[in-house]
A and B are shown apart, each in its own frame.
Chain A
Amino acid sequence: MIEVDHISKFFGPVPAVRDVTFQVGKGEILGFLGPNGAGKTTTMRILTGFFPPTSGSARIGGLDVFEKSLEVRKKIGYLPENVPLYKEMIVEDYLKFVAEVKGLDRSQRKKAVGQVVETCGLEPVIKRFIRNISKGFRQRVGLAQALIGDPELLILDEPTIGLDPKQIFDIRNLIRSYAGEKTIILSTHILPEVSMICERIVIINQGRVVAVDSPENLSSELSGSGRIRLRTGGPAEDVRAKLAQVDGVISLGESDGQGSFVIEIEPKEEIQPRLASAVIEAGWDLYELTPIAATLEDIFINLVTQESEEAETVSREDVSDE
């Protein structure tokens, strides 16, 4: 459905997106994850035809987003980052306007508006000015205008930002309910959100893609170089000394005062039995021995910091070369 092919975007000399490539299949929900300023919004703006890439190309449904902009835009429902809406309009009039510019004819318009009002729960505010409704409702109006005309592709830039937990829950459910039916790209900083909603994640940092995979694969990939929590009744110093000698242990964290340690282990080592017997041998009680699965947070921080360390070393090398 979407093929992004080596796109870069420069604002003057400043690169916002550099050599980004990824694909999204039909009916797939893709999460776009990255810290502030990573280039998520910029990439989405290129896909929606708001501006063209400086180099590279992107196709949606086989059509180039720049060459065939008008046709591509017909397929897309877009929710921009800060939900820019016409504040001086009444919700209903606004949605009718959107239905009209999306090319629905008079008879379809009313039905289409009614439909999105229902899906997004807008009945209570339908006759009110947009400037007077709450942030949560504004966000829903934004989502409603994206949904009008039943587009094949939804591009949602931080759809749940600034909402209360109940609304976040509702909107996530709504997005998930389109799984398999619509292709969706959504960006977010919230990691649990992507693991909940998305089938695939693109992690982007400083304009570059640093990882593309499913949430599960990303987790398991990193849990290889995992950590283990171990709690025993032994004296902290002795336990540290003893466990440090166990094969496969990389390092031992400090005790938390209750005899619990976080142990970093070699990737893919089956180390638990050895740790257990070491504790038992020493005659201490063993209360807990659990692997800590890497969360998406870990992966994210890991990838993002790795990347910037690399970038730093590269730039240092550049300097020393001169």
Chain B
Amino acid sequence: MSNFWAVFKREFKVYFTSPIAYAVMIIFLVTAGYFFFTGISYYSMLSFQASQNPQIYKVNLSDIVMNPLFGNISVVMLLMLPALTMRLFAEEKKTGTYELLFTYPLRDVEVLLGKYFAALGVFAVMVGLTGVYLIILLFFGKSIPDVVLAGYLGLFLMGAAFLALGILVSAMTENQIVASVVSFGLLLILWLLSWTSSMVGPQLGKVFEYLSLIKHFNNFSRGLLDTADLAYYLCFIFFFLFLTLRVLESKRWRG
């Protein structure tokens, strides 16, 4: 446990000594901020109009506004999060620090989780900072829809899944650029899987739809909490962390 902490603290701190984490955070906050303000203003406007003419606006506001809002933010995450995980193992392999790290009395799993949670921590800070936007909105008297909470949970789980895949790819290469491009590509494929489901026949289509990252997110961003979606993301994370562990072990074997 203390080993996990040691690795975690180091990794977390190192993120803030490199420009990458700042770049990722700033871009994320700016774009997310834009989506938030336009989305929430649109929401307030529609809900105001709906209260005036209940007959015309019988629509589900969270579907028209909040779902696209979180959808947009998740696209930004898809683009940015591979930049957080790319360095985790690739950099150590390139610079050779890998050799020292793996000859210290640390278990592979402690190293892996320390690194993973550091990336997750940075991501949590990033998402947490968007909370400032909500506070500003509240301050200006706008109402915050309840779906926001579910949406946040969805964002966090999806981001955690992205990071788990990213760390696996980082463990397989010593080139950070390759790590980030490949993670992005794989995430994009998993993301789009549900779009192809209509083309591959009903059976396979169901499977694809189930595996798709975005499919499970849609419920969250509509404000629906389903344990199946929760389970999907947790399994996804566990699966990719497990694979990473195997990759680290096999590195020991092959040298």
Query: What is the interface of chain A, defined by CB distance below 8 A to chain B?
Result: 9, 11, 45, 48-52, 70-71, 73-74, 76, 78, 80, 82, 84-89, 93, 97-98, 100-103, 105, 145
Contact = CB atoms under 8 A, between A and B. Distances in A.
Interface of B: 2-3, 5-7, 9-10, 13-14, 17-18, 95-100, 102-107, 252-255
A101 to B, nearest CB: 5
A129 to B, nearest CB: 9
Nearest to A41: B99
A110 to B, nearest CB: 15
A102 B2 CA distance: 10
A82 B98 CA distance: 12
Given A76-B103, A145-B100, A101 B6 contact: yes
Name B's interface SS: helix
Contact of B255 (A51, A70, A73, A74): A51
A93 B14 CA distance: 11
Contact of A86 (B6, B14, B102): B14
B99 A103 contact: no
A209 B239 CA distance: 45
A80 B104 CA distance: 12
B17 A88 contact: yes
B252 A52 contact: yes
5 contacts: A70-B105, A76-B103, A88-B14, A89-B10, A101-B104
Contacts of A86: 10, 14, 97
Contacts of A49: 102-103
A101 B105 contact: yes
B105 A102 contact: yes
Contacts of A73: 103-105
Given A45-B99, A85-B97, A88-B17, A9 B105 contact: no
B105 to A, nearest CB: 4
A52 B14 CA distance: 31
Contacts of A50: 99, 102-103, 252, 255
Given A73-B103, A84-B98, A88-B17, 11 more contacts: A45-B99, A49-B102, A50-B255, A52-B253, A80-B96, A84-B95, A85-B97, A97-B6, A100-B3, A100-B5, A101-B104
B14 A101 contact: no
B99 A84 contact: yes
